[in-house]
Amino acid sequence: MPVSDFELVQAWRQVLTLCRLEAGQTVTLLTSLGSNEQTLRCAVLAVREKGAIANRLDLQPTNGALSFSRDPLAFVGTTPLTNNRAAVEMLKASDLVLDLMTLLFSAEQHEILAAGGRILLAVEPPEVLVRMTPTMEDRERVLAASKKLQAAKVMRVTSAAGTDASFALGDYPMLEEYGFVDAPGRWDHWPSGFLATWSNEGSAEGKIVLAPGDILLPQKSYVAAPITCHLEKGFVRAIEGGYEADHLRDYMESFNDPEVYAVSHIGWGMQDRAHWSVMGFYDREASIGMDSRACSGNFLWSTGPNNEAGGTRDTACHIDIPMRGCTVTLDDVPVVKDGRLVENT
């Protein structure tokens, strides 16, 4: 059911307050052909209400002829900012960028952040934004868990379906998503509520068994039959199963890039207001699936690029795989047990 402009403006008001937006600051709203008009309209109203300056930078879409999907995460790395210095400089001069387009995995996003800019991504449908409007409690929960992840040397993931994989930790930073940007150089995503990092290069070992009900993104499909991914020296070396395994292999092979098989970020969802079932109520072009990524107690792992963490892989294929029913341990101490957050984690 749609939400009213009144509700969405209220949500933006809360988010901008958490982002510490002040009167007189400059906000650039980055849009493209697929940006949601209600989200844009209500964001402008909330920015103006704060006494800040609202500018809109509308750019032409890219990658349409290369991607298999209209999902903005189906082909990553190059964006409408690529080789567009005028646009990059405008964003670097802004106090806050509201990304209603999706800049993930782009070199230009890192340049803007390195200059001290703040970027908040918001591309989910308005009703999803309102349901998962971030709070300070979201931040406190994610940062408390992040301290444990930062101290850990090994993450291990197991499941009744047969998953048993381990990842050495410590070489890469944390991905702390709590839904707002409250410091210079910070990127975040509204809605969110999950924690992740990247395993040390070449360290991912074991097997991950996707069970029925687990999710593939950007395919936005619930797995119907088991898919086994064999990990060795940081890469997915084999994908076994039926039709869905064949489909996944075909998609990854289409990029003709060995880096697509590398293990990317690993972590778990912490958002109680995110729900596993939500994806099934949207058509595949309406949402990018943040409920699935942030759902409390999931194990979320991915393949492909690590350049957003300071690595060198910038492959265009990025697959996120949220899984249910897993146990996640940090140095043998569980933080998720059978798909549920361990208390005080």
- 155-212 pLDDT, tens digit per residue, is 999 999 999 999 999 999 999 999 999 999 999 999 999 999 999 999 999 999 999 9
- 280-310 pLDDT, tens digit per residue, is 999 888 899 999 999 999 999 999 988 888 8
Contact status, residue 232 vs residue 205, Cβ threshold 8 Å: yes
Give yes or no for residue 11 having a pLDDT over 90: yes
Annotated domain spans of the chain: 5-131, 136-341
Query: Which residue, 179, 170, 174, is CA-closest to 199?
Result: 170
Averaged confidence pLDDT in the chain: 94
Q: Assign 108 to helix, strand or coil.
A: helix
Q: pLDDT at position 76, please?
A: 75
Give yes or no for residue 238 having a pLDDT over 80: yes
5-131 in CATH: which number?
3.40.1830.10
- 60-110 pLDDT, tens digit per residue, is 887 666 667 777 776 777 788 989 999 999 999 999 999 999 988 788 998
Question: DSSP for 18-72?
Answer: HTT--TT-EEEEEE-TT--HHHHHHHHHHHHHTT-EEEEEE-----TTT-SSSST
DSSP 8-state code for residue 101 = S
How many other C-beta atoms can be found within 10 angstroms of the C-beta atom of residue 65? Answer: 6
Pairing mode, strands 26-31 and 53-58: parallel
Q: Assign 251 to helix, strand or coil.
A: helix
